[in-house]
Structure 1
């Protein structure tokens, strides 16, 4: 309006913000802006708008100002260097061809231009070598030039991606108010469930909290951390089993009998416990029965191996409780979508946001 509306221009003496005004304001007042967000939530609580201790959690990728060509990983640099080497080789062949022709002004101009291109490519190669060295010193082996905090992230489209940020929000399920938010540069949501749930619980000042999220947040240790913090989470488990994908019985077709510490398979046979081992810091128990599998009439529907082995995490009961909550409330995922994706739709579409500054 300061640049468009004549009355406003007159009123403020033709003062107008430039492209850095908002960016500088955010940079200089970051702490105050966060306090305003906290005050807003406190006000909503005073008005009785946050009575339901239930939130939906989600993340969305926002494009940064950093262009894809200004973001580098080892694979990108290696690919670009290979392209440069191929181009230099092609130009050198052109120089050899020019040397075999009779000297002329046109050939001289062409030769000079090719040599300039080769010099520029070698300069670019040197720049990439410097960037590669810098990138190898970063924790995540990635470097962005325009916006140093931005990171290359995969998005939902096949083969697509964005250089930007992952914005996490927890939204109140009753009035769709953003309870808490976090901007991170990690490209996936797997490690964010417990942190966002705990922040929401702290902001709402409740002893118990219900949280619903999508399958991208599924992680056993995160779910356990939520359970220990008094947060009951509901989310679907991603299908990662090759057996299910190939039309065979999945782990969910085997029933665990806690009193006997055995699994019951689809044919009714019992698979006893054999041993415990630790993988990636997780204590895992192994169950199987070679004898039961050898004489099983439906073994072809279960496993191509000698016997079917079942692995159980020591805190598997926590994950099973999440699945029971989801089974008893099949509309939870629809409510999650209608609740937590609404703010992102507002930011990205209605307000015309293109870059996240």
Structure 2
């Protein structure tokens, strides 16, 4: 039986690296993009030439390595070093330069701010290339596991539990020592004393952790990565992680703004919305956002900055209106903006003295001001028992952000079809990054460095998607006509 025969390994061939790379290979665009930019102007730390020893590598070499690596699911510096030696595409891209893994790792670690700035620069290019409309932008977040395990994350409850365990164990061992005094078993006594000493040291460690927690003013502390936090991932599942925020344009589903935080979404809306507005230099745009971001303060900040929000209304859940029947919930009371009053379902007018009260507490919703509305008609109302259990009658609180919240709710009701596009715009991005590429955890420690890595991931996603939209030759052609501020 005949088979296709290969080329003899001893046969001499004459060819160049240029011949091995096709015109539509993504490495050609990476090469053109990086060579076009003055990396020092963006903020990349230059490699200083030394008077002795071998010359340093150009920063562009390391940036090309990481763009190629992240685009192909490789981010380990040791694996990237191997790829530089055996990968024909990287040999073409780097002109056969092969840095060691330590130098490769240092570049990513030392340039987090510059990587974030590079992402913003590429967004500017995409806008000039007419790949971004800037009219409708979907905002969402996803969790990325931190380089810090659950066992190295502590809150006050967890510390108290450990201290109580140490106290109980210590008492148990002391009781055992009393029994051994009668039996005169020296070996057992020595073992128990060693365990007590170990417990004493553990107690000191937890007490130091408690001091650190109190000094930080934070509800929790992590010992491996100080910036990592235990965040709710899904349902009741909690992971020590970071929260990647992303704003995605609706035209071609390209990321226009991104940053990483170490808290949940409740207070995150305005920061990512304003970043998107700044990156695209927009006067206004419409933001589609899920209910996890619903917060009066954030909605009001967006309103003040001319950003139109369509944020889903959270589920009401169990009513906290003390015995109130559904027909007398706050939503059934009509607010009269002209005279700043409420009209109840029975037609009575609730007024306010105009005094502002402040919401106190440590929750994310605390710190805002509100006014109280009451009416004396409650005393003689025949349905008072269905409306409230308060002796003085029904009382309604109106937040200083109520106008922005009500306007958002009205837009949400009127634009259901537009809001449903939110998932189509941004959900698949996180699916691609986390499920297909495997970037569901971070390699780095510290919020600033993690921000740099996630900016790099989003940059690579945008490069991949823009190549799929236009193709490499057309994208390079647009790159040549782009008036970059960092050439």
Taking structure 1 as the reference length, the TM-score comes to 0.85
Shift of residue 136 of structure 1?
2.4
| Secondary structure at the counterpart of residue 163 of structure 2 | helix
After superposition, the Cα gap between the structure-2 partners of 1:54 and 1:287, relative to the gap in structure 1 and judged at 3 Å, is same
Identify unmatched segments of 5+ residues in structure 1.
none
1:226 lines up with 2:279 in the alignment: no
Distance 1:115 1:234, change over 3 A: same
Which of 213, 218, 240 is the aligned partner of 1:140? 218
* Secondary structure, aligned partner of 1:109: helix
Q: How many residues align?
A: 349
How has the CA–CA distance of structure 1 residues 267 and 74 changed in structure 2, closer, same or farther, with 3 Å as cutoff?
Answer: same
Structure 1 residue 48 corresponds to structure 2 residue 130? yes
Largest Rg, 1 or 2 = 2
2:340 paired with 1:261:
yes
Residues 378, 384 of structure 2: 8 Å contact kept: no
User: Between Structure 1 and Structure 2, which shows a larger proportion of strand residues?
Assistant: 1
C-alpha distance 292-81 of structure 1, shift in aligned 2 (>3 A): closer
Assess, with a 3 A threshold, how the Cα gap between structure 1 residues 247 and 342 changes in structure 2: closer, same or farther: farther
Offset from partner CA, 1:150-169 (integer Å, 9 cap, x none): 122233332x4222212211
- Give me the whole-angstrom Cα distance separating, in 1, the residues matched to 2:84 and 2:231: 43
CA apart distance, 1:267: 2.8
Q: Does 1:99 align with 2:181?
A: yes
Distance 1:244 1:55, change over 3 A: farther
Q: CA deviation at 1:303?
A: 1.8
Q: Distance in 2 between matches of 1:246 and 1:269?
A: 17
Instruction: Name the SS for the 1:203 alignment partner.
Output: helix
Question: In structure 1, the residue corresponding to 2:187 is in which secondary structure?
Answer: helix
CA distance in 1, matches of 2:113, 2:189: 59
2:261 to 178, 184, 204: 184
Ranked by relative contact order (alpha carbons within 8 Å, sequence separation 6 or more), the top structure is: 2
Aligned residue number for residue 109 of structure 1: 187
Shift of residue 100, structure 1, vs aligned partner: 2.7
Secondary structure at 1:33's aligned position in 2?
Answer: helix
User: 2:246 — aligned with what?
Assistant: 169
The runs of 4+ residues in structure 1 deviating greater than 6 Å are: 1-7, 9-13
What is the alpha-carbon distance in structure 2 between the residues aligned to residue 244 and residue 41 of structure 1? 51
1:87-125 Cα shifts (integer Å, max 9, x gaps): 222222222233333x5xxx4433322222222121111
CA contact (8 A) 1:276 1:283 kept: no
C-alpha offsets along residues 227-251 of structure 1, whole Å, 9 cap, x if unaligned?
1111011113433751399643321
Matched with 1:121 is: 199
Name the one with the larger helix percent: 2
Name which of structure 1's ranges 162-171 and 107-116 shifts more when overlaid on structure 2: 107-116
Alpha-carbon displacement from aligned partner over 1:36-77 (angstroms, at most 9, x marks no partner): 211221221122121142212222222111112212233322
Q: Which runs of 5+ in 2 are unaligned?
A: 1-78, 360-366, 445-487
- Residue 151 of structure 1 corresponds to 229
RMSD: 3.1
SS across alignment from 2:169: helix
- Point out the more displaced range, 237-246 or 80-89: 237-246
The 1-side partners of 2:406 and 2:322 are apart by 18
Change (3 A) 1:16 1:226: same
Quote the Cα distance in structure 1 between the aligned partners of 2:172 and 2:437. Answer: 48
**Is 1:70 aligned to residue 157 of structure 2?**
no
What does residue range 1-357 of structure 1 map to in structure 2 within 5 Å? 8=86, 23-101=105-183, 103=184, 107-140=185-218, 142-158=220-236, 160-185=237-262, 187-238=263-314, 239=316, 241-243=319-321, 247-248=325-326, 249-280=328-359, 282-291=368-377, 294-296=380-382, 298-306=383-391, 307-356=393-442, 357=444
